[in-house]
Amino acid sequence: MVERYSATFWLAFTLSFNWMGCKSNKDIERALPQSLGQTAGSEGQIHLTQQQVNLNRILTAPASESSVYSFLTCIGRVTPRAGGEAQVFSPFAGRLIADPVRLPRIGIEVERGEVLAEVEQLFNASEKLQVAAETTQLQATIQQAQREVTFRQIELARVRQLYEGGALPLKHLQMAELNLDQAQTQLESARRTRSQYEQAIAPDTTRRREAIRAPISGTIVAADLTAGAQIDPSKSLMTVVDLRTVWVEVAIHETDLHSIGRALGARIMTRGNPGRIFTGRLITIGNVVDPASRTVPVTFAVDNRDKSLKIGMHAEAQVPTDVPTKSLTVPSSAVLEEENGSFVFVECGPGSYVRRTVALGAVVGGKTVIKSGLKSGEKVVIRGAQTLQSEASKSRIPPVAD
């Protein structure tokens, strides 16, 4: 009888203990924070419930084969665009007239034709005779400038016709327009100088005063001005650069020219703007090979309205080649970096993830080429990978080789 009661007691005690244990485990599970679980599998896996996956907004995407253009990396520098840099000179020798408070300074924006200062000259009879002689010589300069404008107008009409017919690329039309604009500017300058000389040699003139104007719109990047100082027409007073669009000139080896024959642009990067990629539009490929380096200059135009690119800054251009290759890619948000290399988190089952070391290739259009470490179709975490990495670090989960 005692043995029967004893067996009954132990059976009841065991059932009661198990029920209490199950209740305790459920209470503990409910008490856990709904972030990530701390459970790691024996093979370095992180296991999450579906609720934890949802709360942490973890999202995956498969690694897939994509057509990727390889890039040719070239080194160059930032330069003003053609016609985008101009020196400011005085039309004649004299005294600089300007308000010291409003004197143009480096960094000031100016518009083409804006009055920057004035120059005043006093002269005697002998100086008048000299100006008269210079006026006669200036007439020949004006005639030459007029012939240049006529030539550039004919050239532009011919290039525009070929461009509209598809025989020439846009860069040739842009260059012809630029050449005409420069020729017209030179003609206007020569005519303006002649007008000033004619006023100077008038019988009742003992002094002349003329405005010093900005030749182009842009930013003053250099200035040497002192109000009241004597200035020389041969010495530059200011340098104005149009920084809204700059050029990046790179050197490409002659053996690589065939691979970029149809490239229309490039990815531009600089050390002064880490992590930022600028878009360069192809302007021209040079026609002369440097005899020392065996390279050809290639020029790209870059939008620079925020003035992030500085003149003279070193730049790196990645120019796409003509032939694409099939490569395994993943969204770049899936890739994490550390001192020992790069890795991704691979989904190996519902709510189960493992860290995988990968070798990276080029980054193209928001996707990163994976050279090794993944197979096509494997799902990688593209959102929430940082959270998984934080959890893996706490649990000291070792990386898993492929």
Q: Model confidence over 358-387: pLDDT tens digits?
A: 998 877 778 888 999 999 999 999 998 888
Q: What is the pLDDT of residue 198?
A: 66
User: What does the alpha-carbon distance between residue 128 and residue 111 come to, in Å, rounded to a whole number?
Assistant: 33
Does residue 145 surpass a pLDDT of 60?
A: yes
Distance CA 222, CA 238 (A): 5
Q: Give the residue-averaged pLDDT of 122-135.
A: 62
Query: What is the percent of the chain where pLDDT is above 90?
Result: 33
How high is the pLDDT of residue 388? 84
**What tokens were used for 107?**
């960094």
pLDDT of residue 324: 72
Residues 96, 231 contacting (CB under 8 angstroms): yes
Radius of gyration of the chain (CA): 36
Within 10 Å of residue 24's Cβ, how many Cβ atoms?
10
Residue 17 has pLDDT above 90, yes or no: no
Tell me which residue of 268, 291, 237 sits closest to 94, measured CA to CA: 237
Q: Which band of pLDDT confidence, cut at 50, 70 and 90, is reported for residue 347?
A: very high
Q: pLDDT tens, 97-112?
A: 888 888 889 999 999 9
Nearest to 330 by CA among 377, 369, 387: 369
Q: Per-residue pLDDT for 39 more than 90?
A: no
| 155-192 pLDDT per residue, tens | 999 999 888 888 887 878 888 888 898 888 888 888 87
Nearest Cα neighbor of 285 from 250, 312, 321, 313 is: 250
CB 67 within 8 A of CB 325: yes
Residue found under tokens 């099939």: 326
Q: How confident is the model at residue 197 (pLDDT cuts 50, 70, 90)?
A: low
pLDDT digits (tens, 9 = 90+) for 267-277: 899 999 988 88
Q: Is the pLDDT of residue 66 over 50?
A: yes
The pLDDT score that the predictor gives to residue 40 is 41
Share of the chain above pLDDT 70, in %: 79
What is the pLDDT confidence band of residue 123, given thresholds at 50, 70 and 90? low
387-396, pLDDT tens digit by residue?
888 777 765 5
What is the average pLDDT across 62-68?
A: 86
Tokens 């642009």 belong to residue: 265
Q: How many CB atoms lie within 10 A of CB 223?
A: 18
β 230-231/64-80 pair status: unpaired
Assess contact for 329 and 63: CB atoms under 8 A: yes
The pLDDT of residue 173 is 86
pLDDT at 231 over 70: yes
Q: Is 227 left (phi over 0), alpha (psi -120 to 50) or beta?
A: beta
Higher pLDDT, 206 or 380: 380
pLDDT tier at 137 (50, 70, 90 boundaries)? confident
Asked whether the predicted pLDDT for residue 328 surpasses 50, the reply is yes
Q: What is the mean pLDDT of the chain?
A: 80
Range ranked top by mean pLDDT from 30-44, 90-104, 200-214: 90-104
